[in-house]
Amino acid sequence: MIRISVDADACCAAGQCVTLAPDVFDQSEEDGRVVLLTVQPPAALEGAVREAAAACPASCIRLSPS
């Protein structure tokens, strides 16, 4: 399993994370920045989370072992 952290201040609101892993990420209604829905997603979502982190243009998604 992985653990996720995000730096919402660094987020550029591109929405790639939401597109790739909508069960894990959302966007703020106010400014479009990333909102983390779960810190430890189920193993079935790990591939999508890794893809979202790699696709983030602001590199604001961090993954670490749980």
Domain ranges of the chain: 2-65
Q: Which CATH code fits 2-65?
A: 3.30.70.20
Given a cut of 90, is residue 24 above it in pLDDT? yes
The DSSP 8-state label assigned to residue 29 in this structure reads T
The string over 18-57, giving b where at least 16 C-beta atoms fall within 10 Å of a residue's C-beta and e elsewhere, is bebbeebbebeeeeebbeeeeeebeeebeebbeebbeebe
Mean pLDDT of the 14-18 span:
97
pLDDT per residue over 27-60, tens digit each? 999 999 999 999 999 999 999 999 999 999 999 9
Which pLDDT does position 66 carry in this prediction? 79
The stretch 4-29 carries a mean pLDDT of 97
- What local confidence, expressed as pLDDT, does residue 39 receive? 97
Q: Give the mean model confidence (pLDDT) for residues 8-31.
A: 97
